[in-house]
Amino acid sequence: MATVTYKAKTGYHFDAFTDISQNGVTAARTDENTVTVSGSPTANVEITIPNAVANGSTPATDPTPGKDDTPISASVTFKVVGGAWNDGSTADKTVTLTGTSSGELNLKPSQIPAVGNKPNADYKAGSWDTVPSTQTPITTDTTYTYTYAKDPDAKEDQPAPEKPTATDVTHHTITVKVEPDEEASIDGGGTWVRPKDGETTVTFDNLEPGKTYTILVRKIATDTKNPSPPSEPLVVRTPAHGSVKSQVVIGEGLPNLTVDGFDDALAAKLCTPEDHEALENGENILITLRAAKQDNPPAEDKALCDELAAKIGKSAAFGLALSVDKKIGDAEATPVIDLGGNAITVSFDLPNELTQVPVNTQRTFYFIRVHNGAAEQLPHHPGGQSSLLPNG
């Protein structure tokens, strides 16, 4: 605050007095004609500055004859327990009273804090240990304490339980251990779930795979007790679903072989109900198309191919083995023998030894597919670029 200066009128002066201080502000007589007020207030301040007196009526430096004007002061502290002052604060409030030994130190009404309207939970209006009064002389440093009364109908508080533990976690459920007098929440305390009679766990279901959840536990409210604060949170992540992937593995000796239509979408179509259950349990599935040059086919397949080739007056010259297998997790791969009517296209260049023919010579190629114990002739295309459609 800015320093405030008081000047006595002509013919008046200020009697000597001890500096008056209250809540960081001090009033001081700098000379018989001047009083200054300065400082930084820490709370409300009420300081009464002695009036200037007429010159000649009281000596400027001597007290009134026969009167004891020794400066005196006392601090009065107000405390509150079980709640707050009516202004919402809870800190102690202190005022400093000043005067002279010939008079009394008394509180002013404005110095006594208002209280009684801000009890804590489970408390109600209370009383002063000694009621502060403007009529009561203050002769020494004094403390007044206002204590809110405990509400006889209030319930007892309970301490928060320990951090819960998860006993089981699946893709769609989380089970946590609780005591019979506890309840659990998975939505930040919006709803609470209690264990069934005789059980010591709570299960949250219909959860999303691969998602993080936060679980709290608290003590259940009773007729005489409030619910406890929540425990330290337990953070749990449900396992993610497995994935279905496809891949094409091309062996050596197959020039420029490409595959169209064999992708992750087709791989997903090839999954059985048992495969989907494995995915729910977090297993990954890999479905592989393998293409390899086949110089020595199985005897049964070779016999079927040679038989059909003979019927059209041709002989087998090049073999291409196509197979599909499925691997679930770390298990061994198993063959996939049926693509469920889904067509894929395999394109490749024929070997040079088959396409290099004498000038003015035309060579026609026929394609025979052997699958599931049967041979069939596929449409043929002249030239080196051909397609194979294993749609069985």
pLDDT digits (tens, 9 = 90+) for 2-18: 888 888 888 888 888 88
Query: Within 10 A of 289 (CB to CB), how many other CB atoms are there?
Result: 23
Residues 277-290: tens digit of each pLDDT: 898 888 999 999 99
Of 110-119, 129-138, 201-210, 295-304, minimum mean pLDDT range: 295-304
The verdict on 251 and 381 lying in the same domain is yes
57 compared with 314, residue with greater pLDDT = 314
Domain of 263? 244-388
Residue 60 included in any domain: yes
160 within domain boundaries: no
Answer yes or no: do 248 and 384 share one domain.
yes
* 126 and 138, same domain (yes or no): yes
CA 54 to chain centre: 75
Q: Sorting pLDDT into bands at 50, 70 and 90, what band is 176?
A: very high
Residue 139: left (phi > 0), alpha (psi -120 to 50), or beta? alpha
In the prediction, which pLDDT does 349 show? 81
Residue 391: pLDDT band with limits 50, 70, 90: very low
Mean pLDDT of 244-265: 90
189 and 300 assigned to the same domain: no
Rounded distance between C-alpha atoms, residue 20 and residue 73, angstroms: 9
- Is residue 161, in this structure, part of any structural domain at all? no
The residue from 50, 67, 84 where one domain ends is 67
Q: How far apart are alpha carbons 342 and 303 in whole angstroms?
A: 27
Residue 215 lies in a domain: yes
Give the pLDDT confidence of 99-138 residue by residue, as tens digits.
Answer: 888 888 999 999 999 999 999 988 999 999 999 999 999 9
Averaged pLDDT, 341-368: 81
Q: Is residue 24 part of a domain?
A: yes
Which of 97, 95, 98 shows the shortest CA–CA distance to 77? 95
Residue finishing a domain among 154, 186, 210: 154
Q: Give the end of a domain, one of 67, 101, 116.
A: 67
Q: What is the pLDDT of residues 180-189, one digit of tens each?
A: 999 999 999 9
Position 358 in a domain: yes
Query: 74 and 63 share a domain?
Result: no
Query: What proportion of the chain, given as a percentage, has pLDDT over 70?
Result: 94
pLDDT of residue 388: 39
The mean of the pLDDT values for the chain is: 88
Number of structural domains (the chain) is 4
Contact 344, 369 (CB under 8 A): no
Same domain, 62 and 77: no
Quote the pLDDT of residue 160. Answer: 96
- Is 139 part of a structural domain of the chain? yes
Model pLDDT, residue 100: 87
Same structural domain for residues 147 and 270?
Answer: no
Do 81 and 214 belong to one domain? no
Same domain, 145 and 196: no
Residue 136 in domain: yes
> For residues 218 and 19, which has the higher predicted lDDT (pLDDT)?
218
Confidence of residue 46 (pLDDT cuts 50, 70, 90): confident
Assign residue 198 the CATH number of its domain. 2.60.40.10
* Residue 293 reports pLDDT greater than 80: yes
What sign results for the dihedral spanned by CA atoms 27, 30, 32, 36? negative
Residues in the chain: 392
Longest CA–CA separation in the chain, Å: 152
| Residues 217 and 250 both lie in one domain | no
Confidence (pLDDT) at 67: 55
Same domain (yes/no): 338, 376 = yes
Both 134 and 233 in one domain: the answer is no
